[in-house]
């Protein structure tokens, strides 16, 4: 009788183990199928502007996380509903890149977002259009579409702007870079060391190098320029990038009250672009990257900033540059993009953000743009 009782208990334990394993297999199979659907859904929607949809998508994804995943996330920090988190858990360097891609930014109490795709899955899209522009690289301050009233007003603004008078001692133009590590498409003839897709800590290969060429070309035309090469993207993050670059601007303004024009040089990104040949114009047989200017109104979506830019005058200045560029070199400048962010353009009525080239153009092509942009600027301003 004792042996029968032991055998019965052993069989009971065996059955419990088998039932538990079968249940676990069924559960994991269900999770695998669910993740596949979620991944496909995510992949199909990846072309949407990430910043504009970030909060909405986060809210939706949270509702899909079940009890077991929530426990695992809290214990391990690994979300089974996100395939990329599973992969990156075995590839630590992916997590490092991700840390560099998502950076909270605050300015005047507004939360701003910078998403660098792959880096760059921003800012940040390309050819600027109201529905296609990729916000992610701008660290936009409560970014949204401009109102219909402003759209109508913009159509009535002309470039009837007298030459900007640069006079007096000291530098007249400040060139700086809020996103100092934005780099370009790898060029086999001049490769750079990337810290993420289209980003480098070697500033001589980023927009800082393009800014240096712009400064050199302006100085060759006897226009006094100050090029600030501060790397505003040094980690760890202590504040947002636009607050950082604003500190640089304010510091330089105190040092040189002669400064009148402020140029924030960036590189654009647009995941909808596929053909590098469409992102350049041919001038004198050379490939020259296109550029466009971004103007912020400072409206935001909840009252905006306490100090708003004089966006109308900034826009008029940008329009003058854009029209002059296309008059001399058709197609070199894309349309001006107006958004409700501020981009530190409250510092002057001649403050603009210039996107020179994008992730499909090379550093060499962007440097050539600097040469022609200097020529255009020299015709828009009056240097005495």
CATH number of the domain within which 352 lies = 3.40.630.40
How far are the Cα atoms of 19, 179, 296, 306, 344 from residue 341, in angstroms, in the given order? 58, 16, 5, 12, 9
Q: Are residues 215 and 336 in the same domain?
A: yes
Residue 132 in any domain: the answer is no
Q: Are residues 80 and 145 in the same domain?
A: no
Predicted confidence (pLDDT) per residue in 343-376, tens digit: 999 999 999 999 999 999 999 999 999 999 999 9
Question: Residue 112, class by beta-carbon neighbours within 10 Å (0-12 exposed, 13-18 middle, 19+ buried)?
Answer: buried
Q: Who's near 328: CB < 8 A, 6+ residues apart?
A: 372, 375, 376
Determine the pLDDT at residue 34: 56
In this model, does residue 236 exceed pLDDT 50?
A: yes
Predicted confidence (pLDDT) per residue in 35-47, tens digit: 544 434 433 333 3
Helix H or strand E encompassing 142: none
Count the Cβ atoms, other than its own, within 10 Å of residue 218.
Answer: 25
Q: How many domains does the chain have?
A: 2
Q: Would the pTM count as exceeding 0.75?
A: no
Residue 194 in any domain: the answer is yes
Determine the pLDDT at residue 21: 87
Mean pLDDT, the chain, whole residue set: 76
The answer to whether residues 324 and 380 touch, using CB atoms and an 8 Å cutoff, is yes
In this model, does residue 250 exceed pLDDT 50?
A: yes
Residue 262 in any domain: the answer is yes
Q: What domain range includes position 46?
A: 2-85
Of 70, 85, 100, the domain-final residue: 85
For residues 191-202, average pLDDT: 95
Determine the pLDDT at residue 352: 98
Predicted confidence (pLDDT) per residue in 259-309, tens digit: 999 999 999 999 999 999 999 999 999 999 999 999 999 987 666 788 999
Whole-number Å distance between alpha carbons of 345 and 106: 16
Question: Residue 55, class by beta-carbon neighbours within 10 Å (0-12 exposed, 13-18 middle, 19+ buried)?
Answer: exposed
């Amino acid at each position: 009788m004792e042996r029968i009782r032991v055998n019965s208990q052993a069989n009971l334990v065996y059955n419990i183990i088998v039932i538990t394993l079968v249940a676990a297999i069924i559960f994991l199979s269900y999770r695998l199928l669910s993740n596949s659907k979620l991944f496909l859904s995510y992949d199909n929607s990846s072309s949407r502007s990430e910043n504009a949809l970030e909060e909405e998508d986060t809210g939706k994804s949270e509702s899909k996380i079940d009890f077991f995943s929530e426990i695992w996330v809290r214990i391990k920090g690994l979300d089974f509903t996100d395939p990329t988190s599973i992969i990156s858990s075995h590839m630590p360097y992916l997590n490092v890149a991700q840390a560099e891609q998502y950076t909270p930014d605050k300015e005047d109490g507004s939360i701003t977002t910078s998403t660098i795709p792959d880096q760059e899955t921003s800012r940040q899209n390309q050819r600027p259009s109201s529905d296609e522009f990729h916000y992610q690289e701008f660290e936009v301050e409560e970014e949204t579409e401009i109102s219909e009233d402003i759209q109508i007003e913009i159509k009535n603004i002309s470039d009837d702007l007298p030459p900007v008078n640069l006079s007096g001692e000291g530098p007249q133009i400040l060139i700086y870079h809020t996103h100092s590590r934005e780099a370009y498409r790898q060029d086999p003839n001049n490769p750079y060391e990337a810290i993420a897709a289209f980003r480098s800590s070697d500033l001589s290969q980023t927009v800082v190098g393009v800014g240096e060429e712009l400064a050199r070309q302006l100085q060759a035309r006897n226009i006094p320029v100050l090029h600030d090469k501060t790397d505003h993207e040094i980690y760890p993050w202590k504040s947002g990038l636009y607050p950082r670059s604003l500190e640089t601007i304010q510091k330089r303004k105190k040092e040189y009250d002669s400064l009148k024009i402020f140029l924030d040089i960036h590189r654009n990104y647009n995941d909808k672009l596929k053909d590098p040949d469409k992102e350049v114009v041919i001038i004198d047989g050379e490939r020259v990257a296109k550029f466009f200017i971004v103007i912020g109104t400072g409206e935001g979506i909840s009252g905006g900033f306490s100090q708003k830019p004089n966006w109308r005058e900034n826009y008029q200045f940008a329009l003058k540059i854009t029209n002059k560029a296309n008059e001399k070199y058709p197609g070199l400048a894309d349309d001006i993009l107006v958004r409700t962010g501020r981009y530190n353009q409250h510092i002057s009525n001649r403050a603009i953000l210039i996107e020179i080239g994008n992730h499909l153009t090379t550093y060499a092509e962007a440097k050539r743009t600097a040469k022609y942009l200097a020529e255009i600027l020299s015709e828009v301003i009056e240097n005495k």
